[in-house]
Structure 1
Amino acid sequence: MAAVPSEVVEPTGPPEGDGGTKAKKSGIGLGKYIVIRALLIIPTVFILVTTVFVLMRLTGDPVSASVGGRLPPEQLAERIRAAGYDRPIIIQYLDYLGGILRGDFGTTISDNIPVTQLLTRYGTATLELVLYALVVALLLGIPLGMLAAYRRDRGTDAVLRVLAILGYATPVFFAGLLLKLVFSVWLDWLPVSGRVTSSNQLVLQGVSAPTHIYIVDALRLGNFGIVGDVLTHAVLPAISLGLLVGGVFLRLVRTNMIGTLGQDYIESGRSRGVSERRLVTKHAYRPALVPIITVMGMQIALMLGGAILTETTFGWQGLGFKLAEYLQARDFVAVQGIVVMLAVIVAVTNFIVDVVAALIDPRVRY
């Protein structure tokens, strides 16, 4: 009697003979796909920049909107002329486009800071928060999605699906307030707000050529006390924002793993005596991860939107926090620059995700 193989044996490469031709065709298709996706960034960003510019100008000139009620008419008119807002709108628009191409997003009206400097300093804080939240979402969504698929139509699956819906449907600021109430106020385990304690922040500001990504700067110092402080402050904001996307990942992994578990090679493995746990953890989960890669760009855009509320809730000094401040100050130059930068980040992120997805799954290119 023949021995029963202990696991599924899958083909690892293309058939001999025409494999080189197929690989060559795939390479050409991938190159064209990358070029097309890269070129699509240009009209996307152009439309976004134009839309934001027009919407901001519908309120009037930025100087009047920000300080119109606090300056005498003569000084207000002088500031409008100095900023060039008395010129025709088309000239202002062309100058703004030219400034963006040079990396100049203007200067804030309320505190006279170059918007580029604002984006560099506070954008890294938002990037740090989004990366923390993405790690939380992946750590929750992937294993729990696998568990839900493995326990399909049982109590565990039902509970996890409900939790996934709640995680996505709960407003980010409300989840943040609940987390603060439980873990900061009642249990006193974690900080209420901020990115780091004030004393450690002064230390981090003394780092030569700081990245303003506190975890990176703390590691560069080699001070693991500050590293722990940074991570402790990041726990609640990361969970609050990560739950928003973690539920999406959970449902995606569950749905795709259920489909994968019905494939012929999985059934073949079952017939050969391979354990269900091994089929799930070794053979079925990798194809189920492809959809997560393809939608990750959209989820990062969702995170950037949620970061505005999360940063405001936790006093996290990032672009979302500053955007709320400048909206209250009606500083539309700063608002315009921040919104445009967020739009560019989303467009570039989608491009990177699309390329990664095309590398993993050639079907994406067609």
Structure 2
Amino acid sequence: TAGRSLGAGEMWIYHISGGSGVQLTARKNDQQDVNEPAVSPDGRYVYFSEDMYPGGMFNYNKDPNNQIFVIRRYDREKGIIENITGGAGSAFRSQVSPDGKTLAFVKRVRSKTVLYLRDLKTGEEWPVYDQLSKDQSEAWSIFGIYTGYQWMPDNKQIVIWANGKINKLSVDAPNKSTEIPFTCQVKQRITDAVRFTQNFNQDDFKVNVIRQARTSPDGKWLVFNAVGSLWKKALPNGKPERLTSATDFEFDPSFSADGKSLVYTTWNDTAAGSIQKIGFPVAGKSVKLTKEKGIYRTPTFSADGKQIVYVQEDGNNALGNGYTVQPGVYTIASTGGDALFVSAKGRSPKFIDNDKRIAFEASRGYGSYKTDGTDDKQIFKSTNGS
């Protein structure tokens, strides 16, 4: 399994009595699946399905009529791996006939999932049954892309599930199948679903989730985000009240070192995002620091209060791609003005070392660079963190 999710992995073989096992294939990354092992009758070859889609990572918009999965074969005598079949519509869930001459496998043909046969000597391939249920080739394949099936000992029939039935197919005639009747006695307990009356249009309601909580430097105040706005609360038992009366969404509050100012980000679907500064605890009117529209995140003050460092994010499907040409870490004067690009690298930046450097989060680690983005140094790296 992978640190990100189940499924991406390796092929291993274990003796039936147990043991530590023998690894047959190496994991190429943490996101592309390897699955559906099938062993040839003589035990020499292990056939399996592997995600070979371009890009080296899982994609949510894969085209099932192009190649996603390939059937590969591991030779246990020579220790080599070779591709057996794939191409348009992929190839997956392989089973070798008892005589070792024919490989059955499944592939997508336009909107249909089709059972194919391959002559292992000549390489010829042909469809035998196009009435299968839809495969899962576009999705995660941690449990297989199609259900398992098996050849009959005579090499002339295959038993396979499709459309809620167990079917026996003839390999000598296309789409010739016989249903194998199957019934079983089961006992199930059906319980009424738990239902609560919901009212989503209340003028007043109890907030159960807060985010981005920040304590003032003197420990007397808490500022946090809830239901799209920033709130302040005198500690320990004060009543929360809005920080502003603005209608824009408000996020990412951060105090100045003296606790007399706050910076935060806003979002409006028409005006896009901005960075704002406001006095504290007597708020007054907020001041917009940024000149340009953008998607702004995590602004923080320098120790002397003269600069703000923040992230300008790349575009996305929810907020759009406008005003996101050069994402990265930026600085701006705490009085507003022109923003200065620092680096394309880093998240959650903060001034350190008497405001001479900027520390930032990176992939599985933490680093810093000078305020102009030069002299990039790694502070620490986590082997297993994500």
More strand by share: 2
Greater Rg over alpha carbons, structure: 2
By relative contact order (CA 8 Å, sep 6+), the higher-ranking structure is: 1
More helix by share: 1
